A and B are shown apart, each in its own frame.
Chain A
Amino acid sequence: MSTTSKVADTNGGTAARSGKPSKVGAAANWADERLGLAGLAKKNLRKVFPDHWSFMLGEIALWSFVVLLVTGVFLTFWFNPSMTEIEYQGSYAPLRGSYISEAFNSSLHISFDVRGGLLLRQMHHWAAHLFIGSMLIHMMRVFLTGAYRKPREINWVIGVLLLTLGTLEGFTGYSLPDDLLSGTGVRAADGFVKSIPVIGTYGSFLLFGDEFPGHSIIPRLYIIHVLLIPGLILGLIAAHMLLLVYHKHTQWPGPGRTEQNVVGFPMLPVYAAKAGGFFFIVFGATALMGGLMTINPIWMYGPYDPTKVTAGSQPDWYMGWPDGLLRIIPGWTEVSFWGVTLALPVFLTVILMPTLIITFLILYPFIDNWISGDKREHHLLQRPRDTPARTGLMAALVTFYVLALFAGGNDIIAIRLDLSINQITYFLRAAIFLGPILAFWITKRWCISLQRHAKEQALHGYETGIIERSPDGAYSERHLPLPDAKQALIVGRERDQLLELEPAVDKNGVERPHNRKERLRLALNRFWFADNLQPPTAAEIEAAHHHHDGHDGHELEAGAHDDDRDALVKGH
């Protein structure tokens, strides 16, 4: 029986007959005679995409960017990025008569006097949260499963750049309405720029066109927000997608899935339908959020006034972690010498740390590769437990991120939980260093325990919960082999290979200088891989089976129990 013969009639159960050309065929023919696309299309129309829920995270990012483009274009029709002050005469009564900037005025106009304007504004802002959040989680997925390894390092780098640009795009975007909250953010940004040694003051003058706030920052942020960064993001997304298609998607190990193949659904029709349909789901979800959940109610904050501020001023969450570091660093780190000032409390936390972390993320695939010494291509994903040190590293990074984010909301935490803001700050000053170390260590050991458990199951089967008594009265629990897919996940992974130091003397008897870099590499390699458990070899599995054949209990027995086994396998 052919595999497609049972597909529903509506989908066409028989092969298309030649002879009578269809309309689709005629259109394709017309296009190909002018564009010659058939050569390209034949390879890609039925391109295989493997399926897993975690592969959807990047899709959320992609589609929320499309939502951002669509809603953003609408907003540009009404928004006026000018800092000229005018008297507000719109619908929002509490502000009528006050002098506000054109930017704030047009934002209020969109919110109150354009039908659907508030919806578009809120959708745009929610989609921005979704865009950055899904990129972040997508990146964690790629990191934790080793999908950044050769040949995908460049795509990882593009991804990190996209996340960085997305964050900047978010900041420039929420600064545009020129409300009190965003203006406070821009004011802080002026302080950030001024903290840069040597060039900071010039940077501030160049950015603002004058002393803060000047008259240029909103129009400049606007053109950066609607042209410069979106252009870069679009180009990088295109490159990201092209490389994805060229490399073909990674897949999880499983029955029939190897490093040499890719198993999944063809692009046309299944993947195209699922991915295309998913766009509408993201769009729809964003629209529901925009309709039901208020976000950034600028009319409640009021227009920006550099002499006013509200308590509980928080940036959008993705800017929260540098802001948190900024809050907990002690002020004595600022130093003055030789007539100059090093504003380290600001520079270290909001300029240097983000730069260092982005640089580290960009370099990570290459560092990882240097430590492992692995030059092969990898298309099968790794389970997080199978790379305990790397998973521990991500746990450390997440812990750092979350603690810093908490620090960014220390005032809110203090009020809500009735705690002392000073004590929260003192606690976080220590926790920001100790927390990640602890998280690394716990996660690494946890992963190794999971590996041990998985290996146990692969060799001796899983516990069925059925207790058997042997004729001589001994009790034992029956074990059954894991389902194929699960077994393949455990035994199908690659073994870790420890680097070995070349002999100190080469074959000609000449002493080989072992330099420091090489020793560091070996030490890291040991630290990274030496504690890991290796998957059972075929011989070990064979031996385990023989072992059980000779004994009772542990695993099922042949013969009389066969029916039980079938029942259990089905039930599982």
Chain B
Amino acid sequence: MSDQSNLPASGDGAGHSRVPEPLEDQDVAPGLPAHVWRPTDVDPKAEKRAERQVAALFIFSMVCAVLFVVAYFSFEIGREIDTFLGFGASNLFLGLTLGLGMLAIGVGVIQWARKLMSDVEIAELRHPAASSEEDRETTLKALTAGLDESGIGRRPLIRNTLLGALAFAGVPLVVALRDLGPRNMSASRLEKTFWMEGMYIVRDVLGTRINRADLEIGDLLNGEPEGLVPNSEGHLPAPIGPNGQELRPALDHEQLLIEKVKSAVIVLRMSPGDIVRNPDRENWDVDGIVCYSKICTHVGCPIALNEQQTHHLLCPCHQSTFDLADSGKVVFGPAGHSLPQMHLAADDEGYLYAMGDFDEPVGPSYWERG
């Protein structure tokens, strides 16, 4: 161990500090302790017993493997599942037999190692991680010779153009990843949803329109725009406006999830007096019925927990809380901006529809959001 790397550095090329030499009078560790014999080394009976234990474990493992096969074929799964003590019998016995069988092999082998294999510790010398000085020199010479013969140092034109070519060679690979995304990756796509002026709100499961009279104070409904909830035949209908006009053609089923995520709303009725009147949103409610995006402005979870008394809506994912009586403002938690509100109106029969798309992007914040 005369290698330099194992001695304390006396100086530091980069800095101005130095490490003092270690003290010489440190206690020297005593030699290896005497080996202590195990019972299995000196007592033939103990040795035989250990041998039998190991063999028994291996036999037990074989039995478990056979039982695994038995369990696999004898227990029913699926609709008519067999149960045992409330567990699914198949899963339980497959797990037990596989687990115990494997454990028995492991315990057996380790028992063998601990009781019967030599337990004499031996010592081995370490070597410094670095190669020998001689090896280093030889390698350095070979490297220098190789580089010399290539002429890479003497021909900067070749060297530099090669480096350039290699740098450019990566470009196609990176560019080819572009179409991982859609053709149109404009952030403006995130600003629009399926909603448009005159589009009716329907219940998210049934697909039926919502009448102002259906909602008592304190009621909350999950809604989607008409056109995003399949009808009884499983087709997406074309949304029809208050004047009977078709607002847009029926949506391709492929796009349903994408549009549903952005368009989900909650409809809530509160006492009109509870609403904090914001000058911009003077008449956005219908008799105290307000409508907000259901998608949290934090990272996009659907907001689900309504506190009826306070009109606070809590997102179960990260606890952002919004005040639905006050323009969806954040009152607690990590969300950075208010929940987008929808301008509501009701037709002559009292069915609720949107006065337009949200006036800001729904869902989580992003750079271009502004």
B271 to chain A, nearest CB (A): 25
Write the A268-282 contact mask toward B (1 if CB under 8 angstroms, else 0). 011001101111111
Q: Does B304 contact A (CB under 8 A)?
A: yes
A-B contact pairs, 14 of them (CB 8 A): A7-B41, A7-B117, A9-B47, A195-B364, A200-B366, A270-B119, A287-B95, A309-B301, A313-B316, A326-B299, A339-B370, A340-B369, A499-B17, A539-B25
- Nearest B residue to A7 by beta-carbon distance? B118
Contact call B106/A280, Cβ cutoff below 8 A: yes
Chain B residues in 8 Å Cβ range of A345:
298, 334-336
Chain A residues in 8 Å Cβ range of B78:
91, 112-113
Contact call B187/A201, Cβ cutoff below 8 A: yes
Contact call A306/B260, Cβ cutoff below 8 A: yes
Identify which of residues 192-241 in chain A touch chain B, using a CB-to-CB cut-off of 8 Å. 192, 194-202, 204-207, 209-216
Q: Does B172 contact A (CB under 8 A)?
A: no
Q: Does A329 contact B (CB under 8 A)?
A: yes
Stretch at the interface among A72-80, A158-166, A386-394, A484-492: A484-492
Contact call A263/B27, Cβ cutoff below 8 A: no
Report Cα–Cα, A51/B6, bound state, in Å: 24
Report Cα–Cα, A197/B290, bound state, in Å: 33
B98 to chain A, nearest CB (A): 4
Contact call B18/A499, Cβ cutoff below 8 A: yes
Report Cα–Cα, A502/B50, bound state, in Å: 64
A331-B320 contact, Cβ under 8 Å, with A373-B12, A376-B5: yes
Stretch at the interface among B145-153, B178-186, B280-288: B178-186
- Nearest A residue to B294 by beta-carbon distance? A307
- Nearest A residue to B46 by beta-carbon distance? A8
Identify which of residues 13-30 in chain B touch chain A, using a CB-to-CB cut-off of 8 Å. 15-20, 22-23, 25-30
Q: Does B32 contact A (CB under 8 A)?
A: yes
Write the B163-187 contact mask toward A (1 if CB under 8 angstroms, else 0). 0000000000000011011100101
Q: Does B258 contact A (CB under 8 A)?
A: yes
Q: Does B105 contact A (CB under 8 A)?
A: yes
Write the A437-466 contact mask toward B (1 if CB under 8 angstroms, else 0). 000000000000000000000000000000
Contact call A277/B106, Cβ cutoff below 8 A: yes
Chain B residues in 8 Å Cβ range of A273:
109-110, 112-113, 117
Q: Does A36 contact B (CB under 8 A)?
A: no
Contact of A8 among B16, B91, B116, B189 (CB under 8 A): B116
Chain A residues in 8 Å Cβ range of B128:
151, 377
Contact call B121/A265, Cβ cutoff below 8 A: yes
- Nearest B residue to A204 by beta-carbon distance? B366
Contact call A311/B305, Cβ cutoff below 8 A: yes
Chain B residues in 8 Å Cβ range of A354:
none
Contact call A115/B299, Cβ cutoff below 8 A: no
Report Cα–Cα, A206/B51, bound state, in Å: 61
Contact of A537 among B23, B87, B106 (CB under 8 A): B23
Contact of A194 among B29, B96, B365 (CB under 8 A): B365
Stretch at the interface among A135-143, A472-480, A514-522: A514-522
B348 to chain A, nearest CB (A): 29
Q: Does A548 contact B (CB under 8 A)?
A: no
Contact call A292/B181, Cβ cutoff below 8 A: no
Q: Does A260 contact B (CB under 8 A)?
A: yes
Q: Does A549 contact B (CB under 8 A)?
A: no
- Nearest A residue to B17 by beta-carbon distance? A499
A285-B125 contact, Cβ under 8 Å, with A119-B91, A190-B300: no
Chain A residues in 8 Å Cβ range of B30:
255-256, 484, 488
Contact call B22/A274, Cβ cutoff below 8 A: no
Contact of A91 among B79, B113, B261 (CB under 8 A): B79
Contact call B109/A374, Cβ cutoff below 8 A: no
Contact of A119 among B94, B105, B304 (CB under 8 A): B94
A205 to chain B, nearest CB (A): 4
Contact call A211/B124, Cβ cutoff below 8 A: no
A516 to chain B, nearest CB (A): 12
Identify which of residues 4-49 in chain A touch chain B, using a CB-to-CB cut-off of 8 Å. 4, 6-11, 46-48
Chain B residues in 8 Å Cβ range of A306:
257, 260-261, 264, 302
Chain A residues in 8 Å Cβ range of B17:
373, 499-502, 518, 521-522, 525
Contact call A500/B18, Cβ cutoff below 8 A: yes
Given A277-B109, A282-B106, 11 more pairs with CB closer than 8 A: A8-B116, A118-B88, A202-B181, A262-B126, A281-B102, A287-B99, A288-B99, A327-B333, A332-B336, A341-B368, A485-B33
Write the A315-335 contact mask toward B (1 if CB under 8 angstroms, else 0). 000000001001111111110
Q: Does B122 contact A (CB under 8 A)?
A: yes
Q: Does B213 contact A (CB under 8 A)?
A: no
B204 to chain A, nearest CB (A): 6
Write the A373-412 contact mask toward B (1 if CB under 8 angstroms, else 0). 1111101000000000000000000000000000000110
Chain B residues in 8 Å Cβ range of A333:
336
Chain B residues in 8 Å Cβ range of A91:
77-79, 81
Identify which of residues 57-96 in chain B touch chain A, using a CB-to-CB cut-off of 8 Å. 72, 75, 77-79, 81, 87-88, 90-96
Contact call A10/B366, Cβ cutoff below 8 A: no
Contact call A112/B77, Cβ cutoff below 8 A: yes
A261-B336 contact, Cβ under 8 Å, with A190-B300, A341-B365: no
Report Cα–Cα, A261/B31, bound state, in Å: 12
Chain B residues in 8 Å Cβ range of A339:
370
Q: Does A546 contact B (CB under 8 A)?
A: no
Contact of B304 among A3, A279, A309, A421 (CB under 8 A): A309
Report Cα–Cα, A276/B113, bound state, in Å: 11
- Nearest A residue to B184 by beta-carbon distance? A205
Q: Does B107 contact A (CB under 8 A)?
A: yes
Chain B residues in 8 Å Cβ range of A289:
95, 99
Chain A residues in 8 Å Cβ range of B305:
311
Report Cα–Cα, A105/B203, bound state, in Å: 26
Contact call A210/B258, Cβ cutoff below 8 A: yes
Chain A residues in 8 Å Cβ range of B268:
none
Report Cα–Cα, A261/B147, bound state, in Å: 39
Contact call B8/A374, Cβ cutoff below 8 A: yes
Q: Does A434 contact B (CB under 8 A)?
A: no
A410-B300 contact, Cβ under 8 Å, with A277-B109, A518-B17: no
Report Cα–Cα, A351/B233, bound state, in Å: 44
B94 to chain A, nearest CB (A): 5
